[in-house]
Structure 1
Amino acid sequence: MGAVSLRNVSKSFGAVDVIKDVSIDIEDGEFCVLIGPSGSGKSTLLRIIAGLEEASNGTIEIGQRDVTDLEPKERDIAMVFQSYALYPQMTVRENMSFALRLAKRPKEEIKKKIDDVAHMLDLEKLLDRLPKELSGGQRQRVAMGRAIVRNPSVFLFDEPLSNLDAKLRSQVRGEIRDLHQKWNTTSVYVTHDQVEAMTMGQKIVVLRDGRVEQAGTPLELYDLPNSVFVASFIGSPAINLFKAKVSEDARTLLLDNSQKVLPIPGNYPDARGRDVIIGVRPEYLEIVSEDTADALPATVHAVETTGSDTTVICDSPVGQILAASKSRSLLNAGTKIGLKIAEGKALIFDGQTEQRLKPASS
């Protein structure tokens, strides 16, 4: 059993509080991603789970066993580092078997495990090479293989793909996902890349300044972010955010720096007269003619396409707005258009607290 539970975990370095009263439950077999900007505490939290950092307060359980005061080797975890952390003087086979040899496992068992994992990771032809003779992607596979042969209760990944180029990153990301489906071992994965988080995580924990901002499935965080911070951190292209004021009858929005009025997207009677922030994902903006009712007037600034996806960058009375679609666009810079929000797809956040407002049931 590899369930991981953190209860009121805090960590201070001198007078600096890095982790602040964090509580997280990760189910047995779950793939959990810790994400946040630099300095949010995600790598420190992972190192606390591993036992490489001591928590200032709180408890850590792995498999319903209190491991708060245990050494890393006693926690039944295996960690894959950003820097690979391979022994340069050892061959691939020796690197992968090191922990098993240290544990004095039988030679036959070690050989079988190494051969099985090498076959799984396509490392069979590389077993006698030194790390310096490998590419970055191959080194990362060796690091993963070294973790897998130990058959731990929990895998810990500390930004393992950040040193790889875009193509390799996508490939190894798929390999990690496939391995998790095969082994179904609890995994905790640290990244600052929200694409990695969305495509790999069964649960995502968003950290901000050492605290949990929100935890949930990828689509929960994407569709129903608790705050402006989560909304803006999850999603690519980034969510559009602009200020507005709710009318006294709670039926319309007066856009900031504009006389434009739009219908309020939902039933928000408690928001009467309140300053708010509107959030709209780029794919929920339809490009229409400039004189369309209830559409935001805009001017095309630029069109970006990757072949499969198109993003139209627009200048509007509330700032720059992005509209995204799978269709290719024939629009040119300077074209006057309207932007219409898909029904029920706008999010409303309180202008002061930046927390999402929930509509009243109809």
Structure 2
Amino acid sequence: MNPNTVRASDLRFLLGLALPALTVHSVSQRPQLAGFIALGVLFLIAGLEAFVPALARSPAPLDDGGALRWVLRLFVPLELALLVAGGHAAAQASWPSVLGVALAVGFVTGAQGITFAHELGHSRNRADRALGWVLMTLVCYPQFMVEHYRGHHVRAATWDDPASARPGESLWAFLPRTLAGSLRSAWSLEALQLRRLGRSWMASPLAWATAAMLAWLAALAVLGEWKLLAFWLAQSAFAVWLLETVNYIEHYGLQRRVQADGRREPFGVAHAWNADHLLSNSLLANLQRHSDHHVHAWKPFAALEALPAPQLPTGYAGCILLAAVPPLWFSVMERRLRWAAAAG
């Protein structure tokens, strides 16, 4: 097969462009209902993946799949259009509707925007990485572009990694630890790299992205655009909550062993939770094939494989809902964690 050939089954990744388009319509035409529509989509995906066996398996990977990176690139102007539409709707809406519009937009900028930024950041193409920075700055979380690649991928499934959840740790205990730890780690890693390269902070994309983000928020405050400011902060907060909830799910309780020489064993397929559910994989660029992603970080998303690795009970949509209720999460995952430990 030609490595750039895209099969009919891989057109499912175009769903990644359908959701933001749907959300533009909902926030523009029904802003008072937009938040409920977004939650309805989340529960619908979770329910379908939990109860329809045919949706538990995604198509086989492509040999390369690099051509499908255009789905990620085309998403960027769609997200910008969504933020414009959401901001326009929020500026004219009642305060309850402002929060509903923010939730609807944050559902897309978090579930897909951050996921696509993550994938673009793993590209060897400099323009793709720049698009990743744009997407993460739009949700007020540019530090991800440093911490994820230089921190998380080095330390994942160890207790040194703020984005890896420990056994018995609830999502709500994990969130403040990962938010603070990831922020500290990102700036520390950036300072270390600048020193190594002999550059000043003027050469730091993290510094520039953070400055641009703060300038935008300050401008909204100075202009008295309080609803627009609240919308921007709330959509960012929900987007980041989705990101960190997925981080919580991806490595929950899994730990790389310490070897005889005192170093951690290399990251292996047993150090990430996986799922292969069709709808979530189609919307999230195969992120659920997470072990292969960590083992082969440069591999295009369409080429990722479903490896024999620890398995989640359902797709990410359902697991997000389970993780939000710790007793439910623990009742499902503790047994799976014991199996994963015994198998490892």
Place the TM-score, normalised by the shorter chain, in its bin: under 0.3
Q: Which has the higher contact order (CA 8 A, sep 6+)?
A: 2
Structure holding more strand per residue: 1
Structure holding more helix per residue: 2
- Which is higher, the Rg of structure 1 or of structure 2? 1
TM-score, normalised by the number of residues in structure 2: 0.25
TM-score, normalised by the number of residues in structure 1: 0.24
